[in-house]
Amino acid sequence: MTPASLTQEPQSVSSAVTRNAFFIVATVNEDAASRATVRAWCADVANLVRAVGKRVPAGNLSCVVGFSSDAWDKLFGEPRPAELHPFREFGSGERKAIATPGDLLLHIRADETDLCFELATQLMTRLEGAVTTVDEVHGFRNFDMRAIIGFVDGTENPTGNEAAHFTVIGENEDPDFRGGSYVLVQKYLHDMKGWNALSVEAQEHIIGRTKLDDIELDEAVKPSWSHSALTTLEDDAGNEIKILRDNMPFGRPGSGEFGTYFIGYARSPKPIEQMLENMFVGLPPGNYDRLLDFSRAVTGGLFFVPSQPLLEALAAVDPAVDPAAAPGVETSAADSSETQTEPAAAACADGSLAIGSLKGAPRYE
């Protein structure tokens, strides 16, 4: 397999599997000063990860930052990632992948909770007054990589060059945004009483794998409505299309809350959305994922993850030509005095974000 050709170092999308993860989703407050704070913060993220991570060198600390479609427009304007759009909902009624508010996603991973906690504190302190947190989940690794429903989670993930191939935008796909990724998150709550009332065999049919030793069920036995069958995608030539997941269990046993924070990275939102459609609507429609009879999605967001150099370059977008203050974009009362007549612009006068001129990024070919 030839991995995607890259000239821009990705953020730590395919970081080591860690014991802990914090997921923070926030909205950017509706004034020009808040937007300027968020833009400036983009240049601080890598330094903060380095500073905090140095304190426990073996702790595998990393942070991935993503921006929603609305956030991109109000913070950075044009150019914009080709496939970035608001979260698409799938399904209906009780079985629905819902969209919920969120401009910024922080995916903080480390082996120790204190590392995640310290980095989250440092990052959020710098955003104080500029963003409003709408969801925060602290996930933990559960025994041998088991989701809270007792099955090993993450087995079929791509690794190494294959992970880069499936998650990182290549040179010829979206040139201004090469080295970037898309990430989709959903917070699920489980009906553990209902799930635990099933026999192990019934649970195995729902997942499509054995519970104790995590072996894929034989095609002759695996139902077409199993989670594994509905999330396995192939292209027209019969090659498998993968995504990179790093789901984390979370919960509050004292309150009866048991959950899975789903997080999936890919170089396009399309495969993840196809999986959601298969799960929630069914393939064919009606043949839906029975895991959803015991799991309810309570959040949903799609974000673009710029390459590491682009994240830093975004800090240089000129607030004097703040995209959200440009004509045709609604501004709050607080903004109106700052409304500009210039069109939205990016870091460079040529509108290129200057990412082609950044040096030092590795190249995978």
Residues that bind ligand HEM (CB under 6 A): 147, 149, 151-156, 186, 188, 207, 209, 227-228, 231-232, 243, 245, 247, 260, 262, 264, 272, 275-276, 291, 295
Nearer to ligand HEM, 42 or 275 (CB): 275
How many other C-beta atoms are found inside a 10 Å radius of the C-beta of residue 90? 20
d(CA 284, CA 188): 23
Residue with nearest beta carbon to ligand HEM: 156
Nearer to ligand HEM, 217 or 321 (CB): 217
How many other C-beta atoms are found inside a 10 Å radius of the C-beta of residue 252? 9
Nearer to ligand HEM, 105 or 207 (CB): 207
Q: In angstroms, what is the minimal distance from the CB of 112 to ligand HEM?
A: 24
Q: In angstroms, what is the minimal distance from the CB of 248 to ligand HEM?
A: 10
Say how many Å lie between the first and final Cα of the chain, rounded. Answer: 10
Nearer to ligand HEM, 250 or 262 (CB): 262
Q: In angstroms, what is the minimal distance from the CB of 134 to ligand HEM?
A: 20
Nearer to ligand HEM, 62 or 228 (CB): 228
Nearer to ligand HEM, 62 or 295 (CB): 295
Q: In angstroms, what is the minimal distance from the CB of 234 to ligand HEM?
A: 11
The candidate with the shortest Cα–Cα distance to 273, out of 25, 97, 70, 80, is 97
Q: In angstroms, what is the minimal distance from the CB of 164 to ligand HEM?
A: 17
Nearest-10 Cα torsion for 215, 221, 227, 229? 100
d(CA 306, CA 304): 6
153 is an active site residue: yes
Q: In angstroms, what is the minimal distance from the CB of 190 to ligand HEM?
A: 7
Residues in the chain: 365
* Strand blocks (E) in the chain: 20-28, 62-67, 90-92, 95-97, 104-110, 131-140, 181-190, 233-234, 240-241, 244-245, 248-252, 257-266, 295-297, 301-305
d(CA 274, CA 243): 11
- Pick the catalytic residue: 153, 174, 289, 335? 153
CA triple 251-270-91, angle to 5 deg: 60
List the catalytic residues. Answer: 153
